[in-house]
Amino acid sequence: MSAKPAGLFDDLDRYVSAPRVSDLAVSTDGSRAVVAIAEPDSGGSKYVSALWEIDVDGVQPARRLTWNPEGSSGPAFSAAGDLLFVRRASADDEAAALWSLPRSGGEARLVASRAAGFSGIRAATSSAVFVAVSDVHPSADTEEADERILSARKDGKISAVLHSGYPVRHWDHDLGPATPHLFVSDGNAARRITDSAGGALHEASYDVSPDGSFVVSTWTVPGALATSRTVLVKILVASGERTVLVDDDAADLGSPAISPDGQRVAFVRESLSTPDDAPRVGLQLLDIASGVVEDAVPEWDLWPTNPVWLVDGSGVLVVADDNGRAPIYLVRGGVASRLTDSDAAYTHVHAGVDGSVFALEASYLQPPHPVRIDPGTGEIRRLLPADEASELPGILTEIDATTDDGQRVRAWLAVPHDASDTAKAPLLLWVHGGPLGSWNTWSWRWNPWLLVAKGYAVLLPDPALSTGYGQKFVQRGWGRWGKEPFTDLMTITDAAAALPQIDETRTAAMGGSFGGYMANWIAGHTDRFDAIVSHASLWALDQFGPTTDVAYYWQREMSPEMAVENSPHLFVADIVTPMLVIHGDKDYRVPIGEGLRLWYELLSESGIPADDEGKTDHRLLYFPTENHWVLTPQHAKIWYEVVFSFLAEHVLGETVDLPEALG
């Protein structure tokens, strides 16, 4: 009998080269849809996107629209049906220009270019106007002055930035000296409509009115002691005049969506957390004329995101984490009604003129793909055929358990096809990041099926602090990271380990970001696991709090007392499990100092320190050019290869060669 051919999850080269859908745009009349599909470039060292038009009925094959080697991204349709997008001209060009591909056909034409580039296109639905973001230097009062400053810095190899406010960097890049501004275009060039913005539009979300006369945007307001919060502003396109629409001193406001009649704004309100109280997230509606704000769904216990108006303005579509899924809800008349009943998560939601809903759908059974949903019947129609990423090496099940204090905890469990009571699979506990999040959707970066293909059963639990289980579940772990989240994880691990197809004598734990924090905490509080992998992890909370890129956010929860009670580094002497520490130098969310200190203290203070010859069972995988996630194809491959080798040695008792490129 011939061996089964290797699948996508058996071959890392094929896996990192697999096409992945990353964006969706739908025309105003609903007749056209475009997705961005990313693949490695010709050198295999980065992902680049091409734009593909898909049939809105899912019948005809997709048609590639762009072929630029540097990729095209950020698709949006103009009111006339032309496709707007951004792209770089060459590998040497750091700036992405605005382009338009006419609905009538022909070649794409350049709309506008700036030395700083453009991003974030939002188009009016009944006007030629669209807006985008581009950086401008604070002292530049003309385009010529801005280009002169940029050229002087580039030619002089000047990277210095003089700051007078906070923050100074974000995720993986430094901020300043140029800051984001809004630009408007009618398809011919682009002009700036914001002056003296400072950092107010950093990470802004915004929408343009249907008639193109105004923009509603978030606006960051700095406060005392390096704090900030976001308000909503209205900016007139003709003059740039700016007025504050909503200023809530107890909340951050985001994701504004203007109604089809231009009279209302739906937006998300997130209360400012404190050391005692977790944030609350809700959907609110603003009547622009009167300034009256109301809760769209009073007392809703889920957290809505990214509101989208129905075309007739009668309701708002949102997505909310819900019990390990992220369904679409229709909010109307003070009630949130669930539209999708699948086990999937949805993003990039668009409302069609015929009442249908377009979105990207994903789950642990299949990667993101475009769908069209009939809200009346619940029918979900795929608009692209399934690919080999849907051919999984195992089965997905769902389990739950009850903690000692009576709390239900649930998880996904991915198990190899051949696991049984006579061929038990080793168990890998994989803890999600956030911590305000949920294991509820496909991830190319954190993919359990690669481990399942190696024979592991992978447990994906949602402990206290996870979203989708109500406010009390978040509050249960707030400020108590090492308490209920930890006991929840141990409880659900016990339940998985007791299953007949699981080998409870061979186990490992792994996590990234907050999941890495939990991996560190687990290492110092139990010896039940054979190996622990800690990626981009928080180690010393008193150090992490003021050095992360958004310290003001974390300090809302992280009082000095909380940091002392929940910091893993205080338990380093109790660590007796081999640990693989992974960190990228360009990670500014969890700075490299966390990984370096963890590594040094494992070797010098842990229960299994380096011996007299400097040898250790611990390992450090360091990426000088990677960020919080490790995103490039070649390094994602090495990440998995090293994890495979480390787990094989300590969980399976096997030797798996490391990549030759590591020396």
Q: What average pLDDT score do residues 332-346 get?
A: 97
pLDDT category, 94, cuts 50, 70, 90? confident
CB 606 within 8 A of CB 557: no
- Identify the domain containing residue 604 by its residue range: 393-657
pLDDT tens readout for residues 186-226: 998 999 999 988 999 999 999 999 999 999 999 999 999 99
pLDDT above 90 as % of the chain: 96
Query: 588 in a domain, yes or no?
Result: yes
pLDDT value of residue 367: 97
The model's pLDDT over 374-409, given as tens digits with 9 standing for 90+, comes to 999 999 999 999 888 889 999 999 999 999 999 999
pLDDT in tens, 56-72: 999 999 999 999 999 99
Is 73 inside any structural domain?
no
What is the model's pLDDT at position 4?
54
Q: Residue range 164-182: average pLDDT?
A: 97
3-state secondary structure of 305: strand
Q: How far is CA 332 from CA 81, 84, 303, in A?
A: 29, 31, 16
pLDDT at 444 over 80: yes
For residue 90, pLDDT over 80 is answered with: no
Please tell me whether the peptide bond between 19 and the residue prior to it is cis, using omega within 30 degrees of 0. no
Instruction: List, for residues 224-246, the tens digit of each pLDDT value.
Output: 999 999 999 999 999 999 999 99
Tokens found for residue 595 = 């990984």
Report the alpha-carbon distance of residue 98 to residue 199 in Å, rounded. 23
Sheet containing 179-185: order of strands = 119-123, 130-136, 179-185, 191-192
pLDDT for residue 73 is more than 80: yes
Query: What is the count of structural domains for the chain?
Result: 1
Please write down the HEC assignment for all residues of 365-404.
CEEEEEEEECCCCCCEEECCCCCHHHCCCEEEEEEEEECC
Asked whether residue 531 is assigned to any structural domain, the reply reads: yes
Angle in degrees, CA 399, 404, 406, rounded to 5: 70
pLDDT, tens digit (0-9, with 9 covering 90-100), for 552-576: 999 999 999 999 999 999 999 999 9
* Beta partners for residue 369, in sequence order: 361
Q: ∠ CA(502), CA(363), CA(51), 5° rounding?
A: 140
Using the predicted structure, report yes or no on whether residue 96 has a pLDDT greater than 70: yes
pLDDT at 89: 77
Share of the chain above pLDDT 70, in %: 99
Average pLDDT over residues 172-180: 97
Give yes or no for residue 2 having a pLDDT over 90: no
For residue 6, pLDDT over 80 is answered with no
Question: What pLDDT, on the 0 to 100 scale, is given for residue 387?
Answer: 86
Mean pLDDT across 281-288: 99
- Residue 224 burial (CB count, 10 A): 5
Q: Does residue 116 form part of some domain? A: no
Task: Please report whether residue 224 resides in a domain.
Answer: no
Residue 185 located in a structural domain: no
Encoded amino acid at 598, one letter:
L
Q: For residue range 607-648, what is the model confidence (pLDDT) as tens digits? A: 999 999 999 999 999 999 999 999 999 999 999 999 999 999
For residue 505, what pLDDT is reported? 98
Q: Residue 582 sits in a domain of what CATH number?
A: 3.40.50.1820
Per-residue pLDDT for 105 more than 90? no
- Residue 382 domain flag: no
Q: Which amino acid is at 662?
A: L
Q: What distance in Å separates the CA atoms of residue 464 and residue 514, rounded to the nearest whole number?
A: 12
pLDDT band at 1 (very low <50, low <70, confident <90, very high): very low
Residue 134 lies in a domain: no
